């Protein structure tokens, strides 16, 4: 059975994509409201929400989900998910490393969940924030992307090294409202556990 997991899945968009190539997919997120929406979306239901237009003005909006089999969601901290170690052929954590209090621990969790020969997909803009983590928790100085790749290739503090199969800088925009968004360059890396 092919299994995949996404840590920090929010409303499940990537979980839905992973479901097309896996028998079972688990989405993990700490925000219960997001997971409630995710469950509705993978059940093929319409989800209504208030979309920010400008300032404090919102407009009713909705999105239609796609019914998917084999997708489930767990409300849990990505730093300590209640999942079986080594059970997943694909482990995904997109734009999460700089959003947790202990990024090295997150990498250990990703590695721990990944089966031998399995694939990890990680991305981050490395937009470290003092409100999220202490300075000492950040890694890589002025080049965290290179530090992450070296950590994976060499298996530093991980259970095994990884063969890097793909790496890129990709644009990532977060819509604030109809008139503004925040744009990032997110470092993406895909590796295979040796």
Which tens digit of pLDDT belongs to each residue from 162-192? 999 999 999 999 998 989 999 999 999 999 9
User: Is the pLDDT at 142 greater than 90, yes or no?
Assistant: yes
- Using CA atoms, how far residue 48 sits from 12, 36, 51, 77, 193, in Å, is 15, 12, 9, 26, 40
Give 50's strand partners: 60
How confident is the model over 72-91, as a mean pLDDT? Answer: 97
* pLDDT at 185 (0 to 100): 96
**SS3 assignment, position 150:** helix
* pLDDT at 133 (0 to 100): 94
Which pTM was predicted?
0.94
CATH 3.40.50.150 fits 3-193, yes or no: yes
User: Is the pLDDT at 157 greater than 90, yes or no?
Assistant: yes
Distance CA 87, CA 121 (A): 16
* pLDDT at 81 (0 to 100): 97
Give 114's strand partners: 88
Residue 72, CB half-sphere, CA atoms under 13 Å: how many? 7
Tokens coding 13: 């968009």
Contacts of 41 (CB under 8 A, 6+ apart): 11, 12, 16, 47, 63, 65, 66
Q: pLDDT by residue (tens digit) across 88-141?
A: 999 999 999 999 999 999 999 999 999 999 999 999 999 999 999 999 999 999
Distance CA 150, CA 73 (A): 32
User: Is the pLDDT at 1 greater than 90, yes or no?
Assistant: no
Consecutive H or E run containing 23 = none
Phi then psi dihedrals of residue 184, to 5 deg: -125, 165
Location of structure tokens 């950590």: 151
Q: pLDDT by residue (tens digit) across 13-60?
A: 999 999 999 999 999 999 999 999 999 999 999 999 999 999 899 999
């Amino acid at each position: 059975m092919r299994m995949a997991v996404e840590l920090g899945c929010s409303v499940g968009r990537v979980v839905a994509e992973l479901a097309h190539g896996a028998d079972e997919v688990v989405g993990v997120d700490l925000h219960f409201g997001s997971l409630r929406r995710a469950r509705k979306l993978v059940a093929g239901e319409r989800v209504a929400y208030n979309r920010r237009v400008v300032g404090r003005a919102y407009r009713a909006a909705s999105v239609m989900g796609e019914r998917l089999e084999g997708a489930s969601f767990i409300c849990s901290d990505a730093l300590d998910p209640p999942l079986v170690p080594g059970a997943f052929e694909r482990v995904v954590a997109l734009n999460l490393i700089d959003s947790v209090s202990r990024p090295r621990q997150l990498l250990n969790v990703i590695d721990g969940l990944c089966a031998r020969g399995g694939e990890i997909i990680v991305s981050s803009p490395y937009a470290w924030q003092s409100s999220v983590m202490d300075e000492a928790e950040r890694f890589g100085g002025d080049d965290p992307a290179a530090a992450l790749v070296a950590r994976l290739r060499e298996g530093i503090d991980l259970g095994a090294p990884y063969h890097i199969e793909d790496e890129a800088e990709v644009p990532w925009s977060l819509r604030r409202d109809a008139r503004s968004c925040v744009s990032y360059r997110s470092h993406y890396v895909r590796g295979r556990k040796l």
